[in-house]
Structures are given as C-alpha cells and as structure tokens.
C-alpha cells in the first residue's frame, strides 16, 4: 500500500512511490514534514482574521467613537486599505521568492505584520489606524509565498490536501476574529477593539516555530545551483533518509527538466504572448475573471458594509 492516495497522479510518479503498510502519521519523516507545513497553512488565517475583525469592529460603539463614526466612502476606504496594501506586496514577494527563497518573503511579512499590529493596537487617531491596515495588507502580500512553499515541499500524495488546507484556514482566522471581537464587546474602554487588534498576531506567532524548522524549497535550491542541498531535503523528508530512493531520483529529474523547459521558453516568449492569439486572449480573460468574480460574489458587500 502506498503512503497516501495516488489518485490524480501521473503513472510515472505512481510507479516510483514507495510501498509502505504504515500510515503517514506513523512515518516519522512524513509526520514531521506535515506538522511543519500545517504550521505554514496557519498563515492563511491572518487575512481571514483581519477581514472578519473589521466586520466585528464596526459593531462596537467604542471603535465607532474612536473613528468618529465613519460612513460612506470613508468607511469603504478603511476596509479597502488592507487590499490596497496587498496589491503592492504581491509583486515584491514574487521577486524576493525567486531570488532569495520562498521563506525570506514570509519572514519579511511576519516582521511587517508585527509592526502593523503594534501600530493598530496603539493607534491614537484614525489616520494611524488606516496606515496600520495598509501595512497589514502589505504583509499579507508577502505571505503569498506560503502556498508556494507548501506546494514545493509537500509529499506528492499529500500536496493537494495541504494546499487546499491553506485556503481553508482563511475561515479559521475569520472564526477566531469573530469570537475575539464578540468576547471583548463589553469592555467600556478602547480595549474593546484594541485587544482583537493585538490578537491578530497570535496565530502567526503560534505558527512561527513550525515554519522556522521547515526546509527551503527544493525547486528553488536546484534553480540556484544548490543541487545537493535540494537532494538532501527530498531524501530526508520524502524518503526517510534513503539515499537510493527512486522517488527522490524522479523528483530531482522532474525539477531539472521543468526548470530547463522554463528557461528555454523564457528565451523565446514574453508576456505579449498572452495577447497575440485569440486563444491566448481567451485564456487570459478566464484567468483574470476567476480572481475578479471570486471577490465580486457579494460576500464583500455582506461582510464589510
């Protein structure tokens, strides 16, 4: 019996998967890997927490008084500040992730988030609060490296579940924020909204230990010439220390071939290819539409009036 479910995998990969009668949680190397990656999935809760918290704060009289009872475009701007910061964070994250590794942007995002949470918790006026919201969004852009890290490190049969789990933790963050705001509603002072703001860093702080122990992406390591280090990561976490593992040999070859193909394509193609043919323009429209419709489905109107 192979570790995990091999459905949906290519026949070449399935043929090199090790056979093992033990479940993954009885294999020390896979248990350790999945625990570390589970910590990385918790970072998705940061965005969910922020969005739900802002919804809850609007119901608090203490926050309304502090912000001078915002309404209309000003209230919309407060909620949109987070998304505005994220727009600037994502392009920077992608550059850093390709040059310095998948983990570096996450560390930077955590540092910015800590600063933003401190600024928001100690805000003395509405301008400071909004600036903190922009920084929270900026930090969330750097967290975009988390699903990349998960995808490139996860064991082949666990990859789909872990990446799906990352998106699921958005709602875990929303749930925690909703209860945190509800629990502080009876404070008569401004701590009614400052405590939920402070707790925004609680989940990321909890996840940091597991993230710190996680390895760097083997794909990034191969791309930057650190082939032996990449192989060591795969041998340790995918093969349980077996140097002659067929799975590791297959994965290393797959990474090299993919990177080579991408380099060759980069020399002959550009972003203009997306617009040169009708088929490519149609694919671009579908890709862009998915992102727009996901945010334009009405949930934003209902949760952030």
d(CA 40, CA 34): 10
Distance (Å, rounded) from C-alpha 112 to C-alpha 121? 14
For residue 183, name the pLDDT band (cuts at 50, 70, 90).
Answer: very high
Q: Is the dihedral of CA 136, 141, 142, 144 positive or negative?
A: positive
The 10 Å Cβ neighbour count of residue 185 is 14
Average pLDDT over residues 132-155: 94
Interior/surface letters 225-242, b for 16+ CB within 10 angstroms, e for the rest: ebeeebbbbbbbbbbeee
Number of residues that this document lists for the chain? 305
Question: How far apart (Å, rounded) are the C-alpha atoms in residues 14 and 16?
Answer: 6
pTM to 2 decimal places:
0.88
Select from 145, 142, 122, 143 the least CA-distant residue to 132: 122
Our CA angle for 269, 274, 279, nearest 5°, is 115
Asked if the model's pLDDT at residue 300 lies above 60, the reply is: no
Instruction: List, for residues 90-103, the tens digit of each pLDDT value.
Output: 999 999 999 999 99
The span from the CA of 108 to the CA of 101, in Å, is: 12
Average pLDDT over residues 123-136: 94
Chain center to CA of 66: 32
Question: pLDDT per residue over 1-40, tens digit each?
Answer: 455 555 656 777 777 787 765 788 888 999 999 999 999 9
Distances in Å between the alpha carbon of 280 and those of 44, 193, 242, 273? 31, 48, 44, 7
Q: What's the whole-number mean pLDDT along residues 275-283? A: 91
Yes or no: say if 74 and 203 are a contact pair by the CB < 8 Å rule. no
Helices (H), the chain: 11-16, 28-41, 45-57, 61-66, 72-100, 103-121, 126-142, 145-153, 159-183, 191-198, 202-213, 218-223, 227-238, 246-268, 273-276, 278-295, 299-303
């Amino acid at each position: 019996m192979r570790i995990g479910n091999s459905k949906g995998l290519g026949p070449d990969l399935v043929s090199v998967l090790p056979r093992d009668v033990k479940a993954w949680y009885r294999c020390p190397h896979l248990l350790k890997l999945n625990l570390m990656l589970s910590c990385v999935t918790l970072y998705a809760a940061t965005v969910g927490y922020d969005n739900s918290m802002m919804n809850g704060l609007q119901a608090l009289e203490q926050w309304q008084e502090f912000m001078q009872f915002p309404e209309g475009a000003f209230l919309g701007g407060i909620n949109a500040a987070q998304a505005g910061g994220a727009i600037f964070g994502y392009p920077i994250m992608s550059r850093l992730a390709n040059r310095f590794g998948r983990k570096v942007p996450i560390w930077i995002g955590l540092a910015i988030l800590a600063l933003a949470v401190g600024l928001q918790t100690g805000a003395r006026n509405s301008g400071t609060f909004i600036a903190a919201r922009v920084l929270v969004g900026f930090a969330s852009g750097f967290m975009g490296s988390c699903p990349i890290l998960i995808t490139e490190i996860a064991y082949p049969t666990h990859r789909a579940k872990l990446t799906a789990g990352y998106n699921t933790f958005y709602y875990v963050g929303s749930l925690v924020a909703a209860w945190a705001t509800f629990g502080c509603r009876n404070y008569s002072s401004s701590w009614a909204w400052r405590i939920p703001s402070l707790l925004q860093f609680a989940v990321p702080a909890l996840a940091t230990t597991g993230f710190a122990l996680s390895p760097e992406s083997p794909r990034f390591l191969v791309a930057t010439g650190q082939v032996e280090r990449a192989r060591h990561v795969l041998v340790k976490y995918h093969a349980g220390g077996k140097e002659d593992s067929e799975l590791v040999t297959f994965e290393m070859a797959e990474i090299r071939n993919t990177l080579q193909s991408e380099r060759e394509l980069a020399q002959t193609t550009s972003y203009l290819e997306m617009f040169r043919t009708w088929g490519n323009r149609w694919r671009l429209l579908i890709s862009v539409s998915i992102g727009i419709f996901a945010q334009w489905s009405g949930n934003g109107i209902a949760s952030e009036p």
